């Protein structure tokens, strides 16, 4: 512990004031910032619809579930949310968790054991890695989004499962789900997709370069509610048989208080909002506008069509300088350092939301251009 402190590796938490500032601003140390580092891609966390839903949900169902799901914590609010998620994805059954981390972790350590082997993309999320480690499974990893390398491993090992993400959290790029699923079916391996950043986003992008995850291209899908859906919690989606197995064996599910029914209701309303609103075009416009502005300033963005737009800076010292220069101009952009990303690829992780205005994007790109040219 002391060694980490000495090496400057401790992380600080900043207290941000977000009271009544709307969806993409906050105040810190008396200064206002435009937020380009939130995963609230659709601005739902501050929307009137979801705020009303939380109040309604609490009035109807109460604020706490009062027990774990197998005792008395599983209510009609949860059941109905599972139902709309199944409808939205085509999976047979669903299981709710209080967070995506917990869902991923539980899924990995409950499904697999040390007699088995799984294959995973090099860049899958920490929650999956930790669960796999806990399971003792033999884990083989292929180079990020390298379909040929994945195929070769699938043929060689005939793994129990292949694990990837629909949209990668730090790179914003998408896995070739259809092709991977095809490979998996040939080898009788499951394809498991962490859809934390894809759900409600990929469908809107409707691009040929990216396929949304659903029952037609994966066996198990983990959807989280804390990103585009603007609330909290998560669900594992799959066949009734697998879900039944998890209900009986996933200790994180069995021994933890169920997601609050008010929160289940909010997530339910968020899913309905996504199905009923015409936000796709607006989201694509924001992303396209940002990319166009960057192109005009010759900023070298990574190849991403999603709201996650990384700008690789490389060295840590430069990253810190650029991030600080942006902050001086009232712009908050995530500075992502190793070990979250590979060494030498320290980056700005710019995330866009439906509610970023052209003026805000202009201000960001102009400031980025200045900051980078001064190095
Ligand atoms: C955020 C995230 C999770 C964890 O979800 P939480 O609901 O925030 O716990 C899992 N996987 C990926 C890829 C994520 O980005």
CA distance 161 to 158: 8
User: How far is residue 140's CA from residue 51's CA, in Å, rounded to a whole number?
Assistant: 43
Residue 39 among the catalytic residues: yes
**Does the annotation mark 82 as catalytic?**
no
The per-residue pLDDT for 239 is 98
Is the beta carbon of 194 within 6 A of some atom in ligand 1?
A: yes
DSSP 217-234: T-SEEEEESSSTTSS--E
Query: Where do we find the tokens 């070298």?
Result: 300
d(CA 267, CA 231): 6
Mean pLDDT on 37-59: 96
**pLDDT(126) > 70:** yes
Residue 270 pLDDT > 90: yes
165 is catalytic: yes
pLDDT tens track for 340-360 = 888 888 999 999 999 999 999
pLDDT-derived band of residue 67, with 50, 70 and 90 as boundaries? very high
Give the whole-angstrom CA distance, residue 239 versus residue 247.
12
How confident is the model at residue 342, as a pLDDT?
83
Active site annotation includes 197: yes
CB distance 196 to ligand 1 below 6 Å: yes
CB 107 within 8 A of CB 87: no
Which of 318, 350, 309, 316 has its CA nearest to residue 333? 350
For the cut 70, the answer to whether the pLDDT of residue 20 exceeds it is no
pLDDT per position as a tens digit, 205-255: 986 667 899 999 999 999 999 999 999 999 999 999 999 999 999 999 999
Q: Is the pLDDT of residue 6 over 80?
A: no
Q: Over 80: is that where the pLDDT of 152 sits?
A: yes
Which stretches within the chain are classed as H helix?
Answer: 2-6, 48-61, 76-89, 100-111, 126-135, 147-157, 177-187, 202-205, 240-249, 251-254, 261-276, 280-296, 316-328, 358-373
- Backbone φ, ψ for residue 373 (5° rounding): -75, -20
Percent of the chain with pLDDT over 70: 98
pTM: 0.96
From 194, 195, 214, 219, active-site residue: 194
* Mean pLDDT value of segment 267-287: 96
Report the residue among 39, 104, 120 best suited for mutation to probe ligand 1: largest number of ligand atoms under 8 A from its CB.
Answer: 104
């Amino acid at each position: 512990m002391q060694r980490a402190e000495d090496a400057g590796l401790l992380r600080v938490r900043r207290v941000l004031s977000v009271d009544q500032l709307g969806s993409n601003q906050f105040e810190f140390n008396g200064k206002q910032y435009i937020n380009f580092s939130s995963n609230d891609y659709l601005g739902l966390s501050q929307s009137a619809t979801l705020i009303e839903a939380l109040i309604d949900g609490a009035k109807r169902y109460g604020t706490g579930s009062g027990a774990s799901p197998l005792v008395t914590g599983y209510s009609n609010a949860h059941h109905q949310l599972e139902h709309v998620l199944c409808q939205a994805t085509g999976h047979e059954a669903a299981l709710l968790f209080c967070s995506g981390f917990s869902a991923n972790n539980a899924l990995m350590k409950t499904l697999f054991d040390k007699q088995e082997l799984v294959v995973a993309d090099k860049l899958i999320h920490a929650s999956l890695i930790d669960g796999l480690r806990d399971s003792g499974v033999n884990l083989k990893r292929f180079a990020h989004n390298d379909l040929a390398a994945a195929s070769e491993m699938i043929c060689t090992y005939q793994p129990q499962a292949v694990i990837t993400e629909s949209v990668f959290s730090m790179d914003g790029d998408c896995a070739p789900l259809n092709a991977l699923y095809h490979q998996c079916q040939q080898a009788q391996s499951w394809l498991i997709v962490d859809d934390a950043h894809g759900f409600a986003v990929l469908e809107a992008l409707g691009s040929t370069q990216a396929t949304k995850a659903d029952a037609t291209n994966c066996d198990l899908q983990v959807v989280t509610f804390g990103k585009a859906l603007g609330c909290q919690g998560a669900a594992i989606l799959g066949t009734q048989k697998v879900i039944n197995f998890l209900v009986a064996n996933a200790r994180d599910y069995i021994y933890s208080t169920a997601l609050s029914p008010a929160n289940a209701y909010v997530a339910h309303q968020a899913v309905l909002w996504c199905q009923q609103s015409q936000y796709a075009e607006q989201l694509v416009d924001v992303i396209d506008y940002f990319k166009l502005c960057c192109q005009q300033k010759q900023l070298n963005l990574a190849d991403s069509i999603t709201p996650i737009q990384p700008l690789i800076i490389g060295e840590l010292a430069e990253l810190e300088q650029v991030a600080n220069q942006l902050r001086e101009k009232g712009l908050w952009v995530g500075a992502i350092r190793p070990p979250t990303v590979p060494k030498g690829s320290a980056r700005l992780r710019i995330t866009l939301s439906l509610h970023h205005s052209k003026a805000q994007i202009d201000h960001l790109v102009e400031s980025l251009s200045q900051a980078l040219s001064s190095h």
